[in-house]
Structure 1
Amino acid sequence: MTHRIIVAGCGGMANTWVDYALQRENAEIVGLVDIFEDSAKAMAERKGLNVPTFTDLSTALAATGANLVFDVTIPASHKLIATTAMKAGCNVFGEKPMAESFADAQEIVEVSQATGKRYSVMQNRRYLKQIRAFRSIVESEAIGTVGSIHADFFLGAHFGGFRDAMDNPLIIDMAIHTFDQARFITGADPVSVYCHEYNPPGSWYAGNASAICIFEMSDGSVFSYNGSWCADGLNTSWESEWRLTGSSGGAKWDGHAMPYGEKLNPEKAEGFTREMLPVEGDQGWEGREGHWGCLDEMFAALEEGRPAETDCLDNIKSVAMVFGAVESARTGQKVML
Structure 2
Amino acid sequence: MSTFRTLASADAPVRVIQVGAGGMGQAWLHNDRANPDVELVGIVDLNLEAARAGAEVYGSPSLPVSTDLLSLVASVEPDAILDITVPVAHHPVTTDSLFAGLPVLGEKPAAQNVAEALSLAAAAEVTGELFMVSQSRRYNDQLVAYRQQAGLLGSLGTVSTQFAKAPHFGGFREEMDNVLLLDMAIHPFDSVRYLLDRDPIAVYCESYNPSWSWYRGDAAASAIFEFEGGIRYTYDGSWCAPGLETSWNGAWRLSGSQGSALWDGDHEPTVEVTDSASRPVAPAESGAADLPTLPSVGDGIEGSLAAFVSSLRTGAVPDGEVHGNVMSLAMVEAAIESKESGSRILIDDVLSRAYETALATEKRDDVRAQLESWSSVRGALQAVAVSA
| 1:211–1:226 contact (8 Å) kept in structure 2 | yes
Instruction: Tell me if 1:108 matches 2:120.
Output: yes
Once the two structures are TM-superposed, the CA of residue 238 in structure 1 deviates from its matched residue by 0.5
Contact 1:194 1:215 in 2 (8 A): yes
- Verify: 1:128 aligned to 2:140, yes or no: yes
User: What is residue 42 of structure 2 aligned with on the other side?
Assistant: 31
- For 2:52, the aligned partner's letter is K
Asked if 1:174 corresponds to 2:178, the answer is no
Classify 1:151/1:278 alpha carbon distance in 2 versus 1 (closer, same or farther; 3 Å).
farther
**Contact 2:29–2:57 (8 Å) recurs in 1:** no
**Is 1:196 the counterpart of 2:206 in the alignment?**
yes
Taking structure 2 as the reference length, the TM-score comes to 0.81
Q: Does 1:239 align with 2:288?
A: no
Q: Which moved more, 1:293-302 or 1:87-96?
A: 293-302
Residue 19 of structure 2 is aligned to residue 15 of structure 1: no
Deviation, structure 1 residue 172: 1.2
Q: CA deviation at 1:25?
A: 4.0
Cα 1:278/1:235, change in 2 over 3 Å:
farther
One-letter identity of the residue aligned with 1:285: L
Listed one character per residue, the Cα deviations across residues 151-199 of structure 1 (whole Å, up to 9, x for unaligned) are 0111112112221221121111111100011011111111111111111
Does structure 2 conserve the Cα–Cα contact (< 8 Å) formed by 1:189 and 1:317?
yes
After superposition, residues 151-190 of structure 1 pair within 5 angstroms as 151-190=161-200
Asked whether the 8 Å contact 1:133–1:283 carries over to 2, the reply is: no
Secondary structure at 2:281's aligned position in 1?
strand
- 1:251 equivalent to 2:261? Answer yes
Greater strand fraction, Structure 1 or Structure 2: 1
Alpha carbons of structure 1 residues 171 and 62: separation in structure 2 relative to 1, 3 Å: same
**More divergent stretch after superposition (35-44 vs 9-18):** 9-18
2:304 and 2:59 map into 1 onto residues whose CA distance is 25
Cα distance between partner residues in 2 of 1:302 and 1:22: 19
User: What SS class does the counterpart of residue 215 from structure 1 fall into?
Assistant: strand
Matched, 1:68 2:84: no
Distance across 2 between alignment mates of 1:326 and 1:251:
29
Corresponding position of 1:208:
218
**1:65 shift after superposition:** 1.4
Give me the CA root mean square deviation: 1.6
The answer to whether the aligner puts 1:41 opposite 2:45 as a matched pair is no
Verify the 8 A CA contact 1:153 1:227 in the aligned structure 2. yes
Which of 290, 305, 319 is 2:300 aligned to? 290
Supply the AA of the counterpart residue of 1:209: A
**Residue aligning to 1:332:** 342
Structure 1: where are the runs of 5+ without partners? none
3-state SS in 1 of match to 2:343: coil
Tell me the CA shift for residue 46 of structure 1: 2.5
Letter in 2 for 1:277: V
* Identical positions, percent: 38
Moved more, 18-27 or 100-109: 18-27
- Name 1:277's counterpart in structure 2: 281
CA distance in 2, matches of 1:232, 1:23: 34
Give 3-state SS (helix, strand or coil) of 1:38's partner.
helix
1:244 Cα deviation from its structure 2 partner: 0.7
With 120-129 and 173-182 compared, the bigger mean Cα shift is at: 120-129
Pair 1:96 & 2:108 matched: yes
Q: What TM-score comes out, normalization by structure 1 length?
A: 0.93
Q: Which residue of 1 aligns with 2:318?
A: 308
CA contact (8 A) 1:83 1:108 kept: yes
**What is the number of residues matched between the two proteins?**
329
For 1:136 and 1:223, the matched residues in 2 are separated by 18
Q: Counterpart of 1:148 in structure 2: which amino acid? A: T
Q: CA deviation at 1:318?
A: 0.8
1:83 and 2:95 correspond? yes
Report the Cα offset of residue 306 of structure 1. 2.9
2:225 paired with 1:221 = no
Give the letter aligned to residue 30 of structure 2: D
Going from structure 1 to structure 2, the CA distance change for 1:200 and 1:277 (only over 3 Å counts) comes to same
Q: Which SS does the other structure have where 2:118 is aligned?
A: helix
